[in-house]
Structure 1
Amino acid sequence: MICLGIHREISIKDHWKAPSLGDQRPLHSFTKFMPLLKFELITRYFRTFDYTKLDVRDESDLPKTFQAAEEWSEHIQKASAELYLPGTDLTVDECMIPFTGRSKETTVVKNKPTLVGFKVWVIAQQGYFLQWLWHVKASPYKAVIVELPIPKPYGKQGKLQTEIPLSNTQSVVVHLLKRLPIQTYHVFTDNLFSSPHLFRRLRQLGYGATGTARPNCGITTEMKHIKETGKAPDGRPLEYNEVIQIAWKDSNIVLFLSTVHSGAPHERTPKKRKLPAKRGTKAEARRLQQVFNGDSFKMIPIPTVAAAYNDEMNHVDRGDQIRSYTTFAHNSLIGSLI
């Protein structure tokens, strides 16, 4: 198995093919001691788990597919925590494990390098996966309750609402952070997770948070209007429930939420920016010509919240790239060897 992982071929059968005239390939010595048919018969019964311990009767437990890998998953996460002490800046994002076999837990995610497979929620730093949770359609992770600072009337009778539950997806961020060693963290999320209620809860727990936001995540009406109209904001951040809301126009309007960055005009970070290929309207093209003055790139001060997000939000994606270098890239009818 180790040899198959180190010496890659297009398929498993190619390891048993002998070199011939015009077809130069390595001759693997282990093929003299184990025929291909015998190897295929053995791999049919190869398991990395004890199938007698799988319990599919408890609906609140993990699905059978994830139960089979849970023991290995917990062991790897425990070893990861012992070998690596995380710093301050972390990223929470979704990750895809390639799998095209039969399983009810298989997920299709568009606009991802891996379209089909198992979805996993990951908290990572510099490409190092610290902790993760399986994505289960009937989520076993309890929703986190957020206390509101000012009770708000809701419903026809105008009852006062003092707390609000987060969605299952947003609650994953809290559960992942609680699995790490106790210290101060600054977590970055994309608009799949970000909301004022989540960031307020993270602030209550002693964590900082920064991320992009969608117009329907609970932001103020003024920020919604800026996003919908596409007009350049005046650069004035808004504070709501101890969460800073920032609108910044790059090529498009981008909404940010943060409990760390204030979004003040003096919070700027110089970044090297290339001259855009698409100039937009005549007014925008004229403005770009004034800024770049014929140069192909320019050092432009951008909001620190945007610079920090661009630098820190790729920790999970870098981990996916690192994992792609060490997989057993073999086509097999019974799935991947790992």
Structure 2
Amino acid sequence: MGIVRLPAITDYWSNKRFLGHIDFKSVMSCRRFNAIMRAFMMNTFTPPRRPQNTPGLAAAAPPATEPAVAAPLAAALPPPPAARPPQPPADQRPVDQQPADQQPDNAGVPEDRLFKIRPVLDHIKHTCRQLYHPGQDICIDERMLRFKGRSGMKQHMPKKPIKWGLKLWVLATSWDPNFPLGAGYVVDFDVYLGSQEGATEEGLTSKVVIELLQPRNPDTPARSLGKGYHLYLDNYYSSKQLFEKLRDIHIYAAGTIRRLRRGFPPQLKGKLFAGQHRGAWRWTRDGQCLYVVWKDSVDCALLTTIHAGTYDGNTVERRSKANGGAVKEVPAPPVIPDYNKKMGGVDLFDQMNSFYAVLRKVFCWPMVYLFNFLETATTNSYILYRSCSDNKISHKDFILKLVEELVAGLSASNKYQAQRTGGRPGNITAAPDYMRPMYHMPAWMLKTCSGRQCIVCRLRENRRTCIYSCCVDCGIFLCFTGQRNCFKVYHQYSMLAKQCRLEVSRLRRERPEDSIFIYREELM
């Protein structure tokens, strides 16, 4: 469905002229596909829910004692103990104060908001890390999955092409001159679960970057990437504190940075290049971190622990409005061309997915992640195949070949199954392919011979017409004129064809001299 795009899912099984596809019909019916999509689950385990406190409910009062019995008992019993303060019912107490036999199984365990997709999510992440070890240059960026349904994880980002959707943190490979075909491979990703109480943006992004590089979840069988990588980030993640943490684990980073970040040098704030041409730049060093501000159409601030502050003749191409849009070379610090080339790994992956996207409009957020898992597995497989094989193949041809191999057995077994369009079953059903008119050709008798009778007219209308057309493969005479086309009617409906064959067999047994037979020498 990513290559053959139709307006609705049901159009793939349509019988209209410009809609429908025979390969979809041969694999499964539309009703079965919809039933699978409605009942599809990635995790059959449902964690027990914690009991919710229901305010406003008071404890049930004890039954009143009869007055005749209460008086003697009160005189015989000892005085009651001191009154205790009123206690809430057991089901309204906090989870840790409830009786041990009434506490849920997951008491004290944080709730997993992704339990519906957890098995498939862990499998995809583990497989992406195990099948390919990236080169030196990697990048981290966010992705948006289009979704407008109900979910606490839904995000609104008005400056993104997809403004409403679910967000992913993605670690992907960057462009490498020694291995250019491996760019865009998704090494790992994580799901954004929504805002967390007490967490700042700077702390959240640092945590995301560290966990993508070195997973700490003991339940996830993922391994750390190692040391010596060059990581490229945008200004949403970059900070001095994060780059120092990465330096401690021997991972070097570079990326744009916001001037309002904590620790940004004050001498690089404000207007630095008043009256200067494009290409001017200033830098300062704070320990192992190098801050660079470069004048482009706007001032660009960058932070790096990879590059040096010296100028080595690097230039970038820019268009000049003064010269009518002519391209000219503009001097730039070393971090600028490297950042432009090696930051687009996630964007390249998004671009490859957008050509043959399988995501459809759904109202259930697990299905959005399911479609994303399929796209990730397909695109990563294509990148691996392209980088490891000498056979040059396009992305589209790779997907078609993959689908053909997956449905080869299903298509062969259901090739001649009749396709129904829904509704109540009738007496006349569609015939299989070998009974269609394309597999049979009409023939005509010589006019010198006597005419024969049409078996369809004889059965349906009890008419006995003199005709000269017949079907040689079936061995019976059928009308094939501009006024009547019994040839098509006979081959289109299997029940009618069965009745006609039974009638022909009966006539041949009872009256072999009847004019229902075909004589080969009489054909034209």
Common fold by TM > 0.5: yes
Alignment of 1:300-319 (within 5 A): 300-319=330-349
Displacement after TM superposition at 1:251 (Å): 0.6
The residue number in structure 2 matching 1:43 is 37
Change in Cα spacing, 1:237 to 1:100, as seen in structure 2 (3 Å) is same
Structure 2 partner of 1:298? 328
C-alpha distance in 2, partners of 1:236/1:30?
A: 61
* 1:10 and 1:330 in contact (8 A); partners too: no
Equivalence for 1:161: none
Q: Distance in 1 between matches of 2:33 and 2:195?
A: 38
One-letter amino acid matched to 1:172: V
Query: Structure 2 residue aligned with 1:134, among 168, 180, 191?
Result: 191
Distance of 2:33 and 2:140 partners within structure 1: 40
Q: What SS is found at the alignment partner of 2:246? A: helix
Q: Which moved more, 1:42-51 or 1:103-112?
A: 42-51
* Paired amino acid for 1:14: D
Give the Cα separation in 1 of the matches to 2:155 and 2:325.
Answer: 45
Asked if the contact 2:254/2:305 (under 8 Å) is kept, the reply is: yes
Q: 1:67 offset after TM fit, Å?
A: 2.1
Of 161, 175, 179 in structure 2, the residue corresponding to residue 113 of structure 1 is: 161
- Would you say the 8 A contact 1:11–1:332 is kept in 2? no
Matched length: 292
Counterpart position of 1:194: 238
Contact 1:91 1:123 in 2 (8 A): yes
Q: State the TM-score, normalized to the length of structure 1.
A: 0.75
Find the aligned partners of 1:172 and 1:115 in 2 and give their Cα distance.
22
CA shift for structure 1 position 166: 5.5
Q: Residues 174-253 of structure 1: matches in 2 within 5 Å?
A: 174-179=210-215, 180-218=224-262, 219-226=264-271, 235-253=281-299
Structure 1 residue ranges without an equivalent (≥5) = 144-164, 278-284
Distance in structure 1 (CA, Å) of the matches to 2:248 and 2:19: 61
Letter in structure 2 aligned against 1:17? S
Unpaired segments of 5 or more residues in structure 2? 51-105, 174-182, 216-223, 372-524
CA, structure 1 residues 204+55, in 2 after alignment: closer, same or farther (shift >3 Å)?
Answer: farther
Report what 1:269 is aligned to.
314
C-alpha distance in 2, partners of 1:191/1:115? 19
Give the aligned partner of residue 25 of structure 1.
Answer: 19
| Alignment of structure 1 residues 27-176 onto 2, 5 Å | 27-28=21-22, 31=25, 36-37=30-31, 39-53=33-47, 60-63=110-113, 66-125=114-173, 126-139=183-196, 167-176=203-212
Aligned residue type for 1:86: P
Computing the radius of gyration from Cα coordinates, the structure with the larger value is: 2
Distance (Å, rounded) in 1 between the aligned partners of 2:342 and 2:27: 50
Aligned position for 2:11:
14
Would you tell me which structure has more strand in proportion to its own residues? 1
Contact 2:142 2:169 in 1 (8 A): yes
Q: In structure 2, what is the Cα distance between the partners aligned to 1:324 and 1:102?
A: 24
How far apart in 2 are the matches of 1:192 and 1:221? 20
C-alpha distance 30-307 of structure 1, shift in aligned 2 (>3 A): closer
TM-score by length of 2: 0.50
Alpha-carbon distance, 1:312 to partner: 1.0
Q: Which amino acid aligns with 2:154?
A: T
**Residues 123 and 316, structure 1, Cα contact 8 Å, conserved in 2:** yes
Report if aligned partners of 1:237, 1:262 keep a CA contact under 8 Å in 2.
no
State the Cα RMSD in Å: 3.2
